[in-house]
Every structure is written in structure tokens, then in C-alpha cells.
Amino acid sequence: MMGARERMRQERKWTIVVFNVLLLVAALVQIYGLHIRGRQDLISAARSAVVEFVE
Amino acid sequence: MKRPETPVRTGPSEINRGADETIPGDAGAGTRHVPLSVYCIYLLALSWPLGAYQRVFWEVHLHQLAFIPLALETLAYWKRHKRIQTPFELFWPCAAITALVFVLAVGGRPVSPFKVAGGSAAFVVLYHSVSRRQVVWDALHCSMLAGTVMLLLSVLARLNWIFPTAYDLDTRFVMAGPYSIQEGVVIVGTLLLVLPPFLAAVKAGEYHRTRFAWTTCVLFPAAVLLLIFVPVRVDLPAWRPAHQLFLVPAGVLVLLVLWGCARVAAKLIVAGSYLPKFMTVVLPVVIIVGVCLVMIFGKIPPVGVVVLLALLAAYGKPHLQRETEWHRPFLPAIILAVIVMVNLTVMLPGDPRNYEAEARQALARGDYDGLRANMSFVNSLAPSERRTHYYSARSYFEEGRIFQAVPQFARSLRDGPKPRLLPPPATREIESFLNELRDFSSALPERIRGLAYERALIAAGRERHALSLLELRGEPLMLQGVRSSPLAHALAEALGAPGMGAMLSAWEPGLLAVVLESSGPLNGIWPAPEGFPVHQLPCVVMLLPSDNALHACIFSPAGQGGGVQFVTGEAMPFTDALALALDTGWSDWQPRDDGHWKLRFGDGLAFLIGSSPQVLFTAPIALPADYPLQGGEVRIYLPKEYLTNE
């Protein structure tokens, strides 16, 4: 059985992995949403998404 | 049959509690006594998928009432032990989200702080309150049963047996239960996601109410398929993905939510030492996919999604007991059934089916087209809802389009079958509309205001008042010897009360002609051409455009004819044909070889006088919004000698 410290370390590691996956999906959703609404091409939508995020 | 007891598995050492610390809501393994907190969890899980049907009053829902005892019990536990079962790494994102939302609300941002705070609290409390694994599966079972009921009600709504609580005007997709189609999609999607782990738990013996569990596993997908295959035009672009996820300050909230969900998934992934192995894979995947689904379809996830997330997260608690033999939770089901039945049969204040509230909001914000589209849709589902016409009339009136407003007002006052939802307009509302219409139209010149107010009075059953106003419309012409009947029937038609024609025939023809002439800016009296059959005079030609149709009528002593050309959306658009018709305008009466006389309006409409009057539509005609004849156009043809004398 995993020790408490090791378990917490594993939890943190997996949290970061899953968080990054979710972040990626959220970015794709946002880009696609901008693309659908603004009738932009995906590249422009991605650029808009980045600008919005930075702002 | 009772399953054999399995040993209680304990979790990692860091969560072992002192000897005096108890699992919340736990009454000991193997007991048949069901703690109150478990009842509340079941009630919460049962009620949330039913959305509007679990509303108790105003904004208070059954799931909120079920949450109160859980919250109190959590507070009591915290007071006794100075801690709760929800770990800090899951608690702080909830607290941060709540704090941030309140800060945003104070700053004037359009957020719902209490809703978000409630969702965060629900997660913390529910995670704390789950004491056994069977509670998790029982609660999921309850949610899927309730979801099945919601889907079956939605199928009934699609068949128009019950009125929906949510609909999409573009796709005409309806659902019964959720407050919006997006919310409904998220509810169904998340419950479908829960299905695989639920099935796995049943198969693996984690959840051993096999018969009922399998029934649910079949019922819910069957209801989903039933809803999908009831014919409908599904237009997915109406459900557009979110595009504001990372806009500041919403982006900070999104990041916090994603972090919290990632933490839950991570806890389940590393829980392999005391959970079945397949659950440490399936549950994190379900959570990740569920979060993606919510991001795509929902702005703020419905509370049920938080409930499901909390239940799945609590399943990974290390110290949960696995076995129990409890009575089935019939009491929550009975309570919920009563609330649902009440909501199905009675429309309490704040009900989403109350289209009047939405109509008033649309009027207040000036969304007149949206209001009319909404009322039209409601009316297509429930033609007996005469109040929809009242609000359409209101929207036209607010735009100053009184000639469109009055026919709608008249429709709202017609007798009809008992309405499904709201009563017809009350006397106070009728009075209010008439007074406002009177004030508005009396400020207009007589020829511009037409017969709108008089028509509204007649629709409201005040014929004498209307007729007395008409009699004051100027000096009658001297038209002795002219038959009044065609003029009277034309006026009755213009007033929207064809039945009054016989009564108006008693009026002098000169008065009738003056009233008709004064009812529109382009109305006029013309001499009949040479050779026109005298026995067909006086002849009245009338155009009465409405928002979606053109009524054309002709009246003569030989009788009357009429026709309607409906102009509805794409089927018969307002096109260049109209422009052509308007450019050409009215022609003169022309004799034909067969002895008939023909009067053309553009290229699309012709009036024929033969043995009897007729109206012919020969091409689509459409009327643009700025067409000057809102109140209609009346052309009166009299024998030449009367006009010469005049």
C-alpha cells in the first residue's frame, strides 16, 4: 500500500496531468466556439482565443 | 437474497480517525435503519434531473430542501470534530470559486453568486455526507430513474400531450423538466456517462440490487432513444459551443473548476489500493468527458452535474464501507412524486411554462420580434392560449403598428376552448389596451389612424361605442339611389366583423362611403368607367394586408368575393414580385372579350366583375414593412353622375 506522502505526490502528479488535458480541451472548445460564432477560420479563431486569454 | 458480508476495507493511514470519530450519517454496518442524511441524498439525487417539475415554490426546489438537513448535519459534525470529511485540496477550490463569484457580483458582473455558492456547498457537503459506497450507487440509481422519468415526460411533450418547460424556437425541440434545452442536453449526457461505471458496478457485484439496476440500465437508454427518434428537425448549430471560457474574469473561474475536477479525477486514479481497478480508470475518464461536455454545452452546469461529481468523488473516499442491506428509499420517491404531480397539473408562480412572464420581460427590453416568435410557438403547441395573441398585440402596439396589433387583440378576445395554461386577457388588461390605443390613435390624423380603434372596440364587444364614433366621421355624401349594401358589407369587413354588414346596411350610403374613404390615406372614390355595368355599382375594392397575409375583397350589389394570400416565411417570401406589383400599382377597369371587367393590382392580383365579383391571385404578392397601406386600401367606384354632382 502506498504511503501518505507517496499518495499525495501521485495525486498532485495526476492532477497536473488531468488539468492539462482539460485545459487543452477547453482551449479547443473556445477556438471552435469562436470559429462557429465569428465565422472565422480556425487559425484566426485560435489567434483571437490567445489574445482574449492574454488580455 | 442477502449477499455475504465482505470485510470492511480501510483506506490509507493518513485518513484514519480517532476512536471517537464516526462516519457521517453512519449507523453501523449491516443495520437496516436508514439515516436521515441518506434519505436526503436519495431525495437530492432523485429530484435534480426533473428540473422545473421538482419546484416547490418560486425559486425553491426540492433538491434545495433536501440539501438543508445535509448541510446542518455537516455543520454539526464540524462543530463536534472541528473538521469535515471533505479534504482541503477539494475544499479550497470550492471556497475560492464562491469568493470570486461574490467579488464579481459586487463588481456588477452578470453572475449568479448564490447559485454558484450553492453548487460549491453542495459538492463539499455531499462529499462529506456519503458514508458508504452503496449510497453512491443508490443515489446514481435514483438519478437515472428520475432522468428516465424526465425523458419520458419530454417524449410526451414532443407528442404535445403535456406542455414543455423548455423549447428551442429554431429547431422546435422541446423538453419537459429542464429549464433550457442546453441544460437538458447536459443532464442527459452526464447521466449517460454515468451508465458505464454503473453497469460495471452491477456486474462486479459492487451494487447488488441487480434486478432494479439492470432495469434502469435498460430504461434510461431506451428513453434517450425514444426522445431522439420522435421526429424533429434537429439543428445542432443552435447548441453552439462556449466561446467565453477564457475571457477575464470568467477564465479564472474556469481554471479553478478545471483544477478541482482534475483533483477529483486524480484522487480516483490513485485510489487503486482500495477501489476496484476498473473503477480507477472508468471514473476518471467519465469525469474528464463530463467536464468536456459541460464546457461544450453549458455555461453554468446545472446543480445535478455537481451532485454527480460529488458522488463519484465520494466513491473514492478511502474509508467508505462497502456492504449494507437497507430498505429501499420509497419515502423520497413518494415526496417527489407528489411534487411532480402538483407541478404537472397546476402552474405555480415562477413556472417556466408561464410564457406571460417571459413576454413581459421581452416587452420591457424591446425584443418584439423575439416575443412574437415565442408567442407564435406557444400558440402552435396550444392554440387555445388566447393570451399569446394579447402579447403579440402588445408588441405590435409598442412598435406603433396598430393595424397589426388590433387583429391580434381581436383574436385574444374570441371565444374558444379552455386554455391549457393561462386564462384569456382579463377586463383590466382589455381596458388598458383600449385606453392606450385610443390615446395613440387620437393623436394621429383621421385618415392615418384608420379604423383600428373602432375595430378594437367591436372586438371587445362595444359595438355601440364604435358605431357612434364612426357616425362622427364627417358629412355624409349625397348618394340617394345608391344601394348601401356593398358599402355596408365592405365597412363590416374592414371592421373585422362581417356579421355587422346587415345592420350597417340601414345606414345612409353617403355616410358609409365617407367612413370608408376616411379610413386610409390612399382611399378614394372614383367614377366608374364608361360602359361599366351599372347594376354592379357601387363597387368597393379593398386590400387588407396583415403581417403574414394579404386579404383582397370586392363588394358589389351582385355579391362579394374575396381571397387571401398567405405569406409565410420562406414558403412565399417577400420578393421582387412585390416590388413589381407596387411599381405597377392599380390599373384602370378594363373590359374583356368575355364581357367581364378586370381591375389589376400589379401583376399578382386581379379583381373581376362578371355575373359576380371575384378575386384572382395570379402571382405571389408580398408587402414590405414600409408599405404605406398598413390599414388597408379601399377604392369605391360610383356612377359618374354622383361624383359630377358632388
Spell out where B68-201 has E strands.
Answer: 166-167, 174-175
Of B161 and B209, the structure prediction assigns the larger pLDDT to B161
Residues of B in contact with A51 (CB under 8 A): none
Range in B92-101, B253-262, B591-600 the model is least confident about: B591-600
The H-or-E segment that residue B250 falls in is helix B250-269
Nearest to B291 among A4, A22, A49 (CB): A22
Q: Which of residues 248-267 of B touch A (CB under 8 A)?
A: 248, 251, 254-255, 258-259, 261-263, 265-267
**What pLDDT was estimated at residue B561?**
78
Question: How many of the other CB atoms lie within 10 Å of CB of B355?
Answer: 24
Cis peptide before B249 (omega within 30 of 0): yes
- Per-residue pLDDT tens over the stretch B531-562: 888 787 888 888 877 666 777 888 888 777 77
> Is residue B23 scored above 60 in pLDDT?
no
Which neighbouring-strand residues pair with B613? B609
- What's the mean pLDDT in A10-36? 87
**What pLDDT was estimated at residue B623?**
53
Place of cell 473538521: B83
Whether the CB-CB separation of B25 and B74 falls below 8 Å is answered with: no
Of B618 and B222, the structure prediction assigns the larger pLDDT to B222
**pLDDT level of residue B18 (50, 70, 90 thresholds):** very low
The ipTM estimated for the assembled molecules is: 0.83
Look up residue B396 and give its three cell numbers. Answer: 405590435
- The residue of chain B with its CA nearest to that of A50 is B246
Residues of A in contact with B242 (CB under 8 A): 29-30, 33
Asked if B273 is an interface residue toward chain A (Cβ–Cβ < 8 A), one would say yes
**What pLDDT was estimated at residue B627?**
53
**pLDDT level of residue B4 (50, 70, 90 thresholds):** very low
**What pLDDT was estimated at residue B128?**
93
**pLDDT level of residue B36 (50, 70, 90 thresholds):** confident
Nearest to A33 among B241, B270, B292 (CB): B241
Q: Return d(Cα B237, Cα A52) in angstroms, integer.
A: 23
**What pLDDT was estimated at residue B232?**
53
**What pLDDT was estimated at residue B134?**
82
Spell out where B482-538 has E strands.
Answer: 524-527
- What's the mean pLDDT in B496-507? 84
Of A37 and B472, the structure prediction assigns the larger pLDDT to B472
Nearest to A37 among B243, B255, B288 (CB): B243
**What pLDDT was estimated at residue B324?**
56
Range in B57-61, B321-325, B496-500, B627-631 the model is least confident about: B627-631
Asked if A53 is an interface residue toward chain B (Cβ–Cβ < 8 A), one would say yes
**DSSP helix/strand/coil, B625:** coil
**What pLDDT was estimated at residue B33?**
66
**pLDDT level of residue B19 (50, 70, 90 thresholds):** very low
- What's the mean pLDDT in B610-633? 66
Nearest to B295 among A12, A26, A52 (CB): A26
Whether the CB-CB separation of B329 and B138 falls below 8 Å is answered with: yes
Residues of B in contact with A17 (CB under 8 A): 262, 266
Of B599 and B22, the structure prediction assigns the larger pLDDT to B599
**What pLDDT was estimated at residue B20?**
41
Whether the CB-CB separation of B636 and B540 falls below 8 Å is answered with: yes
> Is residue B8 scored above 60 in pLDDT?
no
Residues of A in contact with B248 (CB under 8 A): 55
Task: State residue B162 phi and psi, 5-degree precision.
Answer: -130, 160
**What pLDDT was estimated at residue B600?**
79
Whether the CB-CB separation of B338 and B20 falls below 8 Å is answered with: no
Q: Concatenated DSSP letters for A5-50?
A: HHHHHHHHHHHHHHHHHHHHHHHHHHHHHHHHHHT--HHHHHHHHH
**pLDDT level of residue B313 (50, 70, 90 thresholds):** very high
Whether B259 sits inside 8 A of A15 (CB atoms) is: yes
Residues of B in contact with A4 (CB under 8 A): 12-14
**What pLDDT was estimated at residue B577?**
41
Asked if A37 is an interface residue toward chain B (Cβ–Cβ < 8 A), one would say yes
Count Cβ atoms within 10 A of the Cβ of residue B591 and give its class: 0-12 exposed, 13-18 middle, 19 or more buried.
middle
Residues of A in contact with B252 (CB under 8 A): none
Of chain A, the end-to-end C-alpha distance in Å amounts to 46
Of B451 and A39, the structure prediction assigns the larger pLDDT to B451
Whether A1 sits inside 8 A of B246 (CB atoms) is: no
> Is residue B265 scored above 70 in pLDDT?
yes
The vertex-B330 CA angle with B64 and B177, nearest 5°, equals 45
Tell me the H-state helices in B82-132.
88-106, 113-129
**DSSP helix/strand/coil, B550:** strand
Asked if A14 is an interface residue toward chain B (Cβ–Cβ < 8 A), one would say yes
- What's the mean pLDDT in B317-341? 77
> Is residue B334 scored above 50 in pLDDT?
yes
Residues of B in contact with A2 (CB under 8 A): 12, 270, 273
Whether the CB-CB separation of A35 and B237 falls below 8 Å is answered with: no
**pLDDT level of residue B12 (50, 70, 90 thresholds):** very low
- What's the mean pLDDT in B132-136? 84
Whether A26 sits inside 8 A of B254 (CB atoms) is: yes
Nearest to B245 among A15, A30, A36 (CB): A30
Length of chain A counted residue by residue: 55
Chain A: closest CA distance from residue B216 (Å)? 30
- What's the mean pLDDT in B194-217? 78
**What pLDDT was estimated at residue B266?**
94
**What pLDDT was estimated at residue A30?**
80
Asked if A36 is an interface residue toward chain B (Cβ–Cβ < 8 A), one would say yes
Cis peptide before B521 (omega within 30 of 0): no
Q: Return d(Cα B624, Cα A46) in angstroms, integer.
A: 41
Whether A36 sits inside 8 A of B284 (CB atoms) is: no
**DSSP helix/strand/coil, B518:** coil
Q: In which region does residue B450 sit, left (phi positive, over 0), alpha (psi from -120 to 50) or beta (all else)?
A: left
Whether B258 sits inside 8 A of A23 (CB atoms) is: yes
Chain A: closest CA distance from residue B574 (Å)? 27
Do β-strands B166-167 and B174-175 pair in parallel, antiparallel, or remain unpaired?
Answer: antiparallel
Chain A: closest CA distance from residue B87 (Å)? 12
> Is residue B432 scored above 50 in pLDDT?
yes
Asked if A24 is an interface residue toward chain B (Cβ–Cβ < 8 A), one would say no
Chain B: closest CA distance from residue A40 (Å)? 13
Of B238 and A42, the structure prediction assigns the larger pLDDT to A42
Of B29 and B56, the structure prediction assigns the larger pLDDT to B56
**What pLDDT was estimated at residue A41?**
66
Q: Return d(Cα B187, Cα B50) in angstroms, integer.
A: 10
- Per-residue pLDDT tens over the stretch B459-489: 888 888 988 888 887 777 777 777 888 888 8
User: Nearest-CA neighbor of B535 among B564, B512, B556?
Assistant: B556
